[in-house]
Chains A and B, each alone.
Chain A
């Protein structure tokens, strides 16, 4: 199960935070700061997995954004890389050549898309097409 997902820029500015566990606000801020420090501090040639407390942190950089997921001990790290990539593809599909600015100005859309792809820390839909369709139809319901 995924415990949390964070998106942040190279300057450490948070662009999206999704928490799948119940944690207080202060604690969330502390963890976010720590994650940002650890991930931004990684040297370029190191692998994408970090051991942190009892969790596995899987991170990947896409253009100017770092995607950072905290997985539990029994989760498959390589699959998490696929998961993050799928999310980026979904965003790209929706925004067309997505970039950081899209996510900044349309953060609520980014959340809506994420909530169609993941739920409770688990993948809910494995078909790219299905997720995109759901988002489109939901958007049409908006007044």
Chain B
């Protein structure tokens, strides 16, 4: 009966698919390609109402095979993609995007640009929400490529400008790219998302043409709009922009303070700490200590010699001045039950000493002050340092021994 036939057809289709899958997962591209030619038949009787229909499967599998097959060429790939675009209206934009990505990754920027322009002009009835998003992405990527061309022209102009030779046509062309890029980039960064590349490019354009207010507004929106994800890069871009603009310390600090609040382990925290340490205000220096302590809480910072030296410097300052020991005490309070095992174990002392002497020096200083001269880490490092006749380690030992009472006050 026809029903049985349908069932059998479905069964053999499934079997074929599983063979393909198996071949793909074992990198047997040729075998997969052979099976795929059989699978194409499934397009004929596509009764399925599944999430991913046969045409999409063929597109995905075919693409994967052509990426890896030893005998495939870019020409074949383009040809395949063109066919796939006509296979499903709903997927047209997605296939276009993927095609462009592949061209871009293979350095065929111009072809990619052509494809993007073509896709942009595509119209088919009413667009679904997903298609709308894809269209926006297509436009954004075109904007990005326009930006790349603009940047290229700009470099040419700058090079020639030094020679005192300005080409009006090149300049005109450059401004044209600017307009095209700006329009498209501006659109996408209004929608909530992660648009690091597009934002960077757009801000670069605006800055070049002196539209700092617009740039600032874009960056502020990107960083502070609550509909956007809490992207640390948004704050970094804002901070870098403010720095370029020569803004006051205060606004730089406030930008970094927000970054500190959302990502205490960001690498800019070292800059932040240095900035705060230099400040004359007590409150800021206090914040600096907090920032560096918080950064060193994270496993990724465990062996960051720069951060340890920041902490060591500030702790040393406080100990010498004997003012604000309560700052250290407060910071130490929430850490004294786990920092010793996390940072100052004997095992780590050994390892740090073997791998990075200056790191172990900074850490030993901090350990000596926070945990006293009897702490394992300090004892091991200072002993090794003295044995190796290193002067700074002898100084370190003296310093810690002299200030040992501090430890009692901190931990008390």
Bound pair (A, B): no
- Which B residues are within 8 Å of any A CB, using their own CB? none
